[in-house]
Chains A and B, each alone.
Chain A
Amino acid sequence: MLNHAEASEKFIEDAERTTWHDETLWFVRSKRDKVSKLLPEWEALREQASQIKDHTLANLGQYLEEFEANAQKNGIIVHWAKDAQEHNEIVHSIISKHGGKALVKSKSMLTEECHLNDFLTKKGVEVVDTDLGERIVQFRNEVPSHIVLPAIHLKKEDVGETFHEFLGTPKGNKDPQFLTEAARQHLRGFFLGANVAITGVNFAVAETGEFVVCTNEGNADMGAHLAKVHIACMGIEKMIPKRKDLGVFLRLLARSATGQLITTYSSHFAKPREGQEMHIVLVDNGRTRQLARDEFRNSLKCIRCAACFNTCPVYRRSGGHSYHQPVAGPIGSILAPNFDKSANVDLPFASTLCGSCSNVCPVKINIHEQLWFWRQDLMKDGLAPLGKSLSMKGMAFVFSNPTIFKMAGYMGRLVMRFAPFIVNNSLNPWFKQREMPDAPKESFQSWYKNRK
């Protein structure tokens, strides 16, 4: 597997596509800026959302219990899974009971995190992703590159080819309207025939035992209202205390995500419809571990709007797949080390720490600070390559000793002035596409000494 720097280098090789990717996502960020500035209370809303989430995380046990009791009262069957494996097994056991061979699934980052599709496919169950972007990447045997815009790494030509191959659309047709219509017709059949529908959950309300699912396409509702069994999968951090809190989050979510005023459909599921079975699977999968870490706890406030993706200058120029994780971008980079430190050691370093992510975050997660904290945590665990540890030790030594620092600087400038080939070569990644600064003949300190 390529690390982030290597994968990004490959991505950037296609300069034109990189420009397109960057500009397209920047456009989404601009739309977010525009709508957020139309609300005079925008910053107060973010603060409110942040405080509600902080409060919820501090009382998570109590709210989970309240939610469970109310959901059960509503006739929803509640399941608990400590990890991805158990989540997948629970979902599979429900499907087995109903004898379904194909099921429809709307977007759920949790099921991506648990690799549910792979699991079910191996068990002989066909999973049909119904979100258009997810269906596209599913056809291509890829994973989403963005949590809100799963196929944003693809151009319409790519989608046209994929649909030609899988849906028999005319070769060369790349019209988004036409291709969307083809997907609509193709997926209608699955909606009408599926026994089981899986959806994600955007918010679960402890007070009422209901959960809210937001989509623009209507695919979650099409699936859930037609199938005999609805399984909703959620991480335990999706909890909010009260129904009125939804007003705050629904005002922030779509504005932050796409610059829309609200998603087309914000559906509140409280009770199964008559004759329907409704399940909810509450998943830990490392969340209680993150909850115990002071520095990283509030990453659990995330509402998966992806505003941090769209604003991130690194993400826009490296693509979602370079993060080799179901959740990419800045938020993914602070969530991933919680799952596996050594496999994700590169991600907290895939950032300039510019801080834009924290500024757009609707629940005020200090993302860039957590990137910094993860860097410390991972290096303390000895996950740095040997060369890096040595150079850091060397640097620390030089900077602790002013005499050596002056000597080293003097030598360095000397080398650069009289033997530039020592640094101006392919071993120096700075020099590959940039010139080195001119080396002045004396340092400031030596100038200052002579000035007196």
Chain B
Amino acid sequence: MRVALFVPCYVDQFYPQVAIATLELLEKLGVEVHVPSNQTCCGQPMANSGFASSTEGCDTNFSKNFDGFDYIVGPSGSCILHLKEHHPSEKIRKSVFEICEFLVDVLKVKSLSANFPHKIGLHQSCHGQRGLHLSSMTELNEKPFSKLASLLDLVKGVEYVYPERADECCGFGGTFCVTEEAVSVRMGQDRVESHLKNEIEFIVGGDTSCLMHMEGILKRQGSKVQVKHIVEILNHA
């Protein structure tokens, strides 16, 4: 099983700790992880802005870095969804996995040595949830489940709660966060507020982009509550 770690561009630059946690967690679980060094971006920022036609260079670079692997695993539902839906290579589309999806569906992880004695608010990012179906969706008449929650169940000490409107979007939305600044911020403020009502210490999710957006709002409000990617919890000793 040849596994490569895909580190989304902004995670690489601004949230290296998320990539480190992903790498360490996979290694702890006995996976030999390759990290192609010339990877950049999945191409989503351009495509979601209407410039999918300009992602050729990006796609080619992605293929160059990841072509030979059975599994390409990344800590971002949104980037993974983009690759799954739009990367020109079928092999790539079939090999990409969001980290929680990989842990639950491929590795079938049944236990973790993690410990995180805190109360956290679980944020379900839309692309992971509705796009990759990492958890059930409140709009549908379906059995409730969550791959994220099932992993958190393996962590000692952690207490997770959902905000009211369990799967409402946080308002990040890629370039939406600047082109529709007013709505984006208002959505983010509302989301943060409903998490804070639960008196949590951390907002935890599977997409660093959503977390970055909510972190920006929390910090501006001077809140002590922090954001963490779920792998940071799953990897927490």
Contacts and interface: CB of A to CB of B under 8 A. Distances in A.
Interface of A: 4-5, 8-9, 12, 18, 22, 26, 33, 36-37, 39-40, 42-43, 311, 313-314, 317-318, 348-356, 358-360, 372, 375-376, 378-380, 384, 388-389, 392-393, 395-402, 405, 409, 412-413, 429-430, 432-440, 442-445, 447-449
B182 A400 contact: no
A381 to B, nearest CB: 10
Given A314-B187, A376-B52, 7 more contacts: A359-B130, A376-B51, A384-B50, A395-B46, A399-B61, A405-B9, A432-B181
Interface residues of B, number: 74
B13 A409 contact: yes
A375 B46 CA distance: 11
Contact of A445 (B37, B57, B169): B37
Q: Tell me what chain A mostly uses at the interface: helix, strand, loop, or mixed.
A: helix
A376 B41 CA distance: 19
In the complex, the 5 A-B pairs of residues with the closest C-beta atoms, listed nearest first: A400-B57, A352-B173, A434-B216, A379-B50, A375-B50
B190 A22 contact: yes
Interface stretch (B115-123, B132-140, B152-160, B196-204): B132-140
Interface of B: 7, 9, 11-17, 19-20, 23, 35, 37-41, 43, 45-58, 60-61, 126-127, 130-131, 137-142, 165, 167-169, 171-174, 176-188, 190, 212-213, 215-217, 219-220
Contacts of A430: 177-178, 181, 216
B145 to A, nearest CB: 15
A429 B183 CA distance: 12
A399 B141 contact: no
Contacts, number: 207
A436 B216 contact: yes
A318 B183 contact: yes
A440 B138 CA distance: 37
A397 B57 contact: yes
A46 to B, nearest CB: 9
Given A314-B180, A399-B61, A43 B142 contact: yes
B14 A439 contact: yes
Given A375-B50, A433-B220, A349 B180 contact: yes
Contact of B187 (A43, A313, A360, A380): A313
Contact of A399 (B15, B23, B58, B168): B58
A433 B217 contact: yes
A308 B137 CA distance: 15
Contact of A354 (B50, B60, B169): B169
Contacts of B181: 5, 9, 429-430, 432-433
A8 B183 contact: yes
